Amino acid sequence: MKRNYILASMAIILLGLSSCKDSSQQQMAHGPVPFPVQSAEKENITIYNQYAANIEGEQNIEIRAKVDGFVEKIYIDEGSEVKKGQLLFKLSAETLNQQVNAASANIEVAKAQVVSAQVEVDKVTPLVEKNIISSAQLKTAESNLNAAKAQLIAAKATYMNAKENLDYTIIKSPVDGIVGSIPYRIGSLVGRTEAQPLTTVSNISNVYAYFTLNEKQLLQFNRELNGSSIANKIKELPEVELILADGSTYAQKGRIETINGMVNPRTGSISYRAIFPNPSNLLRSGISGKVKFPSTQNQVILVPQKATYELQGKKFVYVVTAENKVEAHEVIVSESVNQDFIVLNGLDAGQTFVVEGLIKLREGMQIKPVTEKHTPEGNAAKLII
């Protein structure tokens, strides 16, 4: 096995030497070989960063029972559209009806007691004024009248509480939206202590896209934006796009509304929220997507990926000298942008480098440069993070 490996390596080396020899002979016989070259230029580009996002409705409201009772009627179905004030559920109300009737009867009793106490005060008052009876009896009658009035107030409060509880058996939607799952059926016992809500109504006329940036991205983000405060920075942000799960781009553009004030110490990330209009109700709560966020980088040098080669983990380009000879220069790159690299160091504006055919080149080889103009499509680039 080792012998085969050595033989294969020797064969590759011989082929390489033969190729170099042929290239050298061709160059000697026909002069310098033409190679496409390009001049390094600084330009402004737009990079589109993509961040995984969770989509939620503008309002996700849990519908819960405020009183205990059995589900008597269900007026909606899962996934149906409802309007604010539309009837959703009705709970059984026999006990609550009895409580309302009893409270109403207690009001009438309290009213009668007030009338009786008032009559007593009216009867005693002239007698006290004529000194026929003592004023203590009048004070007692007035005290009884005040107590009767207090009982009437308490009876009315009890009635209002019972009536309110009865009203809670009629459950209506608080907003326009889409009905979520309904875990209960007719006859199910529900109440205030149930873990699961009766259903959820999601207002999805607008949706929120929640995504996160790490600390490095946050620092870069803050440096690139103008404004003395977070609010001013947010106002300066460009519109963002939403990439759906099927890879398509959502038709409506959104904007970033808020940036969380704290970095999550466990994940080292900070949360952002973007809002998107949803007029056709295409987006639903719980789906996922990617927020496509544009950022501009000014005066950068782009090098086609095919114009670089890698050696021991480093990237190199062949720079053409004034004598049309090639020299290998190491370049430091950052992100990949479409089919290009952003060069941070190692290549200056105005320098010419070979674009294709690097495998045929060797250090110091003289070539015939053929100028090739490289223009990023639309002067824009796309970066996926």
Dihedral sign computed on CA atoms, order 231, 237, 242, 247: negative
The yes-or-no verdict on residue 10 having pLDDT over 60 is: no
The yes-or-no verdict on residue 5 having pLDDT over 50 is: no
Give a yes or no: residue 18 inside a domain. Answer: no
**Alpha helices, DSSP H, located in the chain:** 2-30, 94-129, 135-167, 215-224, 230-236
State residue 11's pLDDT score: 45
State residue 371's pLDDT score: 87
Q: Are 105 and 214 contained in the same domain?
A: no
Give a yes or no: residue 242 inside a domain. Answer: yes
Lowest mean pLDDT among 100-109, 172-181, 305-314, 367-376: 367-376
Instruction: Choose from 17-21, 23-27, 151-155, 261-265 the range with maximum mean pLDDT.
Output: 151-155
Q: Are 177 and 69 contained in the same domain?
A: yes
Give a yes or no: residue 102 inside a domain. Answer: yes
DSSP codes, 124-137 = HHHHHHTTSS-HHH
Q: Are 141 and 236 contained in the same domain?
A: no
User: Burial of 121 by CB count in 10 Å (0-12 exposed, 13-18 middle, 19+ buried)?
Assistant: middle
Q: Are 219 and 281 contained in the same domain?
A: yes
What long-range pairs does 158-166 form, CB within 8 A, spacing at least 24?
A: 158/103, 158/106, 159/100, 159/103, 159/104, 159/106, 159/107, 161/103, 162/96, 162/99, 162/100, 162/102, 162/103, 163/100, 163/103, 165/66, 165/67, 165/96, 165/99, 166/93, 166/96, 166/97, 166/99, 166/100
Q: How far apart (Å, rounded) are the C-alpha atoms in residues 279 and 254?
A: 13
State residue 227's pLDDT score: 66
State residue 83's pLDDT score: 93
Structural domains of the chain, count: 4
State residue 1's pLDDT score: 44
Return the biggest CA–CA distance within the chain: 148
The yes-or-no verdict on residue 186 having pLDDT over 50 is: yes
Which of 277, 294, 311 marks a domain boundary? Answer: 294
Q: Are 242 and 324 contained in the same domain?
A: no
Q: Are 239 and 184 contained in the same domain?
A: no
Residue 306's domain comprises 28-48+298-382
State residue 16's pLDDT score: 44
- Model confidence over 44-66: pLDDT tens digits? 888 888 899 999 988 889 999 99
The yes-or-no verdict on residue 231 having pLDDT over 80 is: no
CA 164 to chain centre: 38
Q: Are 140 and 157 contained in the same domain?
A: yes
Lowest mean pLDDT among 44-48, 103-107, 272-276: 44-48
- Model confidence over 333-352: pLDDT tens digits? 987 888 899 999 999 999 99
Percent of the chain with pLDDT over 90: 51
Residue 73: give its domain's CATH number: 2.40.50.100
**Mean pLDDT score of the chain, rounded to an integer?**
84
Q: Are 190 and 69 contained in the same domain?
A: yes
Which of 251, 271, 294 marks a domain boundary? Answer: 294
Q: Residues 234-261: what's their mean pLDDT? A: 88
State residue 309's pLDDT score: 94
Q: Are 71 and 183 contained in the same domain?
A: yes
Q: Residues 188-195: what's their mean pLDDT? A: 90
Q: Are 135 and 207 contained in the same domain?
A: no
State residue 364's pLDDT score: 92
- Model confidence over 277-316: pLDDT tens digits? 999 889 988 899 999 988 778 889 999 999 999 998 899 9
- Model confidence over 139-182: pLDDT tens digits? 888 898 999 999 999 999 999 999 998 999 999 999 998 999 99
Residue 138: give its domain's CATH number: 1.10.287
Residue 349: give its domain's CATH number: 2.40.420.20
The yes-or-no verdict on residue 373 having pLDDT over 70 is: no
Dihedral sign computed on CA atoms, order 172, 176, 182, 185: positive
Contacts with 83 (C-beta within 8 Å, 6 or more apart), sequence order: 173, 176
Give a yes or no: residue 4 inside a domain. Answer: no
Q: Residues 57-80: what's their mean pLDDT? A: 92
pLDDT band at 115 (very low <50, low <70, confident <90, very high): very high
pLDDT band at 14 (very low <50, low <70, confident <90, very high): very low
pLDDT band at 120 (very low <50, low <70, confident <90, very high): confident
State residue 13's pLDDT score: 43
Which of 150, 180, 196 marks a domain boundary? Answer: 196
Q: Are 86 and 182 contained in the same domain?
A: yes
State residue 47's pLDDT score: 83
pLDDT band at 251 (very low <50, low <70, confident <90, very high): very high
Q: Are 131 and 164 contained in the same domain?
A: yes
